């Protein structure tokens, strides 16, 4: 993390801490974090499996000591536009013909996308039995400032839109509460009082809001068809480092709505579930093998990365769940709608596609303003221009190369792009998109990670959660019938300004909250 560049608002924030105040702040932060489940399982590089053979240890999630400064106008716009983004992506997921035309360009060059599409085709041929879909989305943004025009205002630009396993809804609620707690006990020095107060530290109620989305799907499913008690399934990775984030949603769902929740490791799907003749999905808890639960909703927190499908059995398991009568979060088509190729098709300059899904010009205009220029790497006119930009080290330094993947650690940045493409067969280039880098304002903060203090320049990424429950082809003319559509809280992830990636679980970022300022 490098020193922060001078800035009239942020050059003296966060302030210098005396050793005594720093010790007081960190002690309270650590204790509060563990007591409130602001935690993760330790990475193998921090605690080896040999030293934790049962996998029971936990440590504080990487977190900032101070809430990071964030422009109030950008924050408010990002939250206000989320319901429109929900509407946009549920419309895309419901337009199989249009989505299929985008996916077709990837089938020969991206095996993972091809296999996901194949699952859809097989189920389509036999007939879907559930037309309700749930999206727990997250739209990620960075603040963009024009480096060539210091007088230009700040604006939010979208980094990506997540349609599957949109994580940290649980921890984001806790970290905003943590920073408000540290303020309330006087852990922050008095000179921060003009910036840090109840009005500038927005709460994130993402855990409760996302749980409300799951509860809405559970209710919309209707009464049990099998006379068995009903439940919601969380499909999770095994082992799962980010378990506490998921538990916050589970506990909120159970305590507020009295919904029974079970966690099902991806590799146990075929062993612990079965389909009735009408494709009702039944879950058999390993601890109670004589009991059956009817599954109303499947919440995928696994299955978004190719390396999770360790054998053909895992694809059989995904097909098994997708063809069931349970409501999927997300459905296979909603999962595919999150491909970076979809984002590129919408955001390529002069693209006509956005208006297809958002007929309201004012809504479309607001969404369009959040797009950073994105290009394909195919043989189209825009693609050929992008190939020139990507292969020139000077122009490539303004771009990031993205594959059709969720999770951190997959992107290629700036001057690393030309050598990467040189080693990649040209036939594989269209599997990537080229996106113009967003230039955030310089900030500093202090991050506590694995017990170590890291202080210096940082970059912040704002994620806004959204809930959308819809009935595909439920309205006139085959349009979606939207049953629920609301913004569901926020997440701020912060990383050192020398790190390109931002994934917290992937080891790059930290969990943060916003201090809203008028810049």
**Binding-site annotation: residue ranges for substrate:** 138, 164-167, 240-242, 246, 301-304, 493, 504-505
Write out the binding residues for Mg(2+).
160, 162, 406
Give dist(CA 326, CA 312) in Å, integer: 22
User: According to DSSP H, which parts of 323-360 are helical?
Assistant: 332-337, 340-347, 354-357
Which residues lie below 8 Å from residue 356, measured CB to CB, with a gap of 6+? 98
Cβ–Cβ contacts within 10 Å for residue 71, how many?
22
Burial 259-292 (b: 16+ CB within 10 A, else e): bebbbbbbbebeebbeeeeebbbbbeeeeeeeeb
Structure confidence at residue 451 (pLDDT): 85
Q: Please give the biggest Cα pair distance in the chain.
A: 68
Question: Smallest Cα–Cα separation from 143: which of 127, 131, 158, 129?
Answer: 158
- Dihedral (Cα; 340, 343, 344, 347), 10-degree rounding: -160
| CA-to-CA separations, 473 to 161, 479, 480, 486, in angstroms, rounded | 23, 5, 5, 20
Residue 162 in tokens: 């997540």
* pLDDT computed for residue 5 by the predictor: 36
Q: Which residues of 452-462 are buried (b: 16+ CB within 10 A; e: fewer)?
A: eebeebbbbbb
Phi, psi of 152 (to 5 degrees): -70, 145
3-state secondary structure of 8: coil
Task: State the DSSP string of 3-17.
Answer: PPPP-TTTTT-SPP-
Residue positions forming the annotated binding site: 138, 160, 162, 164-167, 240-242, 246, 301-304, 340, 402-411, 413, 435-438, 461, 493, 495, 501, 504-505
Active site residues: 138, 160, 162, 167, 340, 402, 406-407, 493
- For residue 502, the model assigns a pLDDT of 42
Question: Which residues does the annotation place in the binding site for ATP?
Answer: 160, 340, 402-411, 413, 435-438, 461, 495, 501
- The pLDDT, as a whole number, for residue 269 is 98
Contact present, 515 and 68 (Cβ < 8 Å): yes
pLDDT at position 499: 59
Nearest to 342 by CA among 104, 33, 79: 104
8 A C-beta contact, residue 256 and residue 215: yes
CB 487 within 8 A of CB 162: no
**CB-based contacts of 17, cutoff 8 Å, min separation 6:** 25, 189
Q: Determine the pLDDT at residue 43.
A: 79
Sequential DSSP letters for 340-399: HHHHHHHHSTT-SSHHHH---HHHHHHHHHTPPPEEE-SSSHHHHHHHHHHHSHHHHTTE
d(CA 463, CA 128): 32
Report whether 282 contacts 226 (CB < 8 A): yes
H or E segment to which residue 160 belongs = strand 155-162
Alpha-carbon span 80 to 75, nearest angstrom: 9
pLDDT of 504 reads: 43
Per-residue pLDDT of the chain (519 residues; tens, 9 = 90+): 433 333 445 568 999 899 999 999 999 999 999 999 999 988 777 788 888 887 788 889 999 999 999 999 999 999 999 999 999 999 999 999 999 999 999 999 999 999 999 999 999 999 999 999 999 999 999 999 876 676 778 899 999 999 999 999 999 999 999 999 999 999 999 999 999 999 999 999 999 999 999 999 999 999 999 999 999 999 999 889 899 999 999 999 999 889 999 999 999 999 999 999 999 999 999 999 999 999 999 999 999 999 999 999 999 999 999 999 999 999 999 999 999 899 999 988 778 899 999 999 999 999 999 998 899 899 888 899 999 999 999 999 989 998 877 655 688 999 999 999 999 999 999 989 899 888 888 899 999 998 889 888 999 999 999 999 999 864 444 567 999 999 999 999 999 887 554 444 444 589 999 999 997
């Amino acid at each position: 993390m490098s020193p922060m560049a001078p800035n009239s608002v942020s050059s003296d924030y966060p302030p210098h801490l005396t050793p005594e105040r720093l010790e007081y702040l960190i002690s309270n932060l650590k204790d509060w974090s563990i007591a409130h489940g602001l935690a993760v399982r330790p990475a193998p590089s921090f605690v080896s499996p040999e030293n934790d053979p049962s996998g029971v240890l936990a440590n504080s999630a990487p977190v900032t000591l101070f809430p990071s400064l964030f422009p109030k106008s950008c924050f408010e716009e990002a939250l206000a536009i989320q319901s429109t983004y929900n509407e946009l992506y549920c419309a895309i997921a419901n337009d199989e013909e249009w989505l299929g035309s985008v996916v077709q360009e990837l089938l020969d060059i991206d095996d993972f996308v091809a296999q996901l599409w194949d699952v859809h085709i097989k189920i389509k041929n036999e007939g879907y039995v559930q037309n309700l879909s749930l999206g727990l989305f997250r739209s990620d943004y960075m603040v963009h400032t024009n480096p060539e025009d210091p007088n230009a205002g700040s604006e939010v630009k979208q980094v990506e839109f997540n349609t599957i396993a949109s994580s940290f809804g649980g921890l984001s609620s806790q970290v905003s509460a943590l920073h408000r707690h540290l303020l309330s006990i006087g852990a922050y020095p008095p000179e921060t009082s003009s910036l840090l107060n109840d009005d500038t530290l927005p709460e994130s109620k993402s855990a409760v809001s996302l749980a409300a989305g799951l509860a809405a799907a559970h209710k919309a499913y209707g009464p049990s068809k099998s006379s068995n008690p009903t439940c919601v399934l969380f499909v999770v990775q095994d082992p799962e480092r980010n378990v506490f984030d998921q538990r916050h949603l589970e506990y909120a769902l159970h305590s507020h709505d009295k919904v029974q929740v079970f966690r099902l490791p991806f590799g146990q799907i075929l062993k612990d579930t079965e389909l009735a003749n009408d494709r009702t999905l039944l879950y058999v808890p390993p601890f109670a093998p004589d009991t059956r639960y009817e599954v109303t909703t499947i919440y995928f927190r696994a299955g978004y990365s190719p390396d999770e499908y360790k054998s053909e059995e895992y694809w059989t398991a995904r097909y098994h769940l997708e063809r069931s009568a349970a409501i999927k979060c997300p459905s296979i088509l909603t999962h595919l709608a999150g491909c970076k190729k979809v984002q590129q098709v919408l955001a390529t300059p002069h693209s006509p596609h956005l208006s297809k899904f958002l007929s309201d010009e004012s809504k479309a205009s607001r969404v369009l303003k959040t797009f950073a220029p994105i290009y394909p790497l195919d043989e189209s006119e825009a693609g050929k221009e992008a190939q020139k930009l990507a292969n020139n080290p000077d122009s490539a330094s303004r771009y990031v190369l993205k594959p059709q993947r969720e999770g951190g650690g997959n992107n290629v940045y700036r001057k690393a792009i030309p050598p990467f493409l040189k080693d990649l067969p040209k036939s594989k280039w269209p599997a990537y998109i080229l996106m113009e880098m967003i230039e955030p304002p310089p900030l500093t903060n202090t991050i506590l990670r694995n017990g170590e203090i890291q202080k210096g320049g940082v970059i912040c990424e704002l994620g806004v959660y959204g809930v959308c429950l819809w009935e595909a082809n439920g309205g006139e003319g085959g349009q979606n019938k939207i049953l629920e559509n609301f913004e569901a809280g926020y997440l701020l992830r912060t990383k050192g300004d020398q790190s390109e990636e931002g994934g917290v679980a992937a080891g790059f970022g930290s969990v943060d909250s916003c201090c809203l300022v008028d810049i």
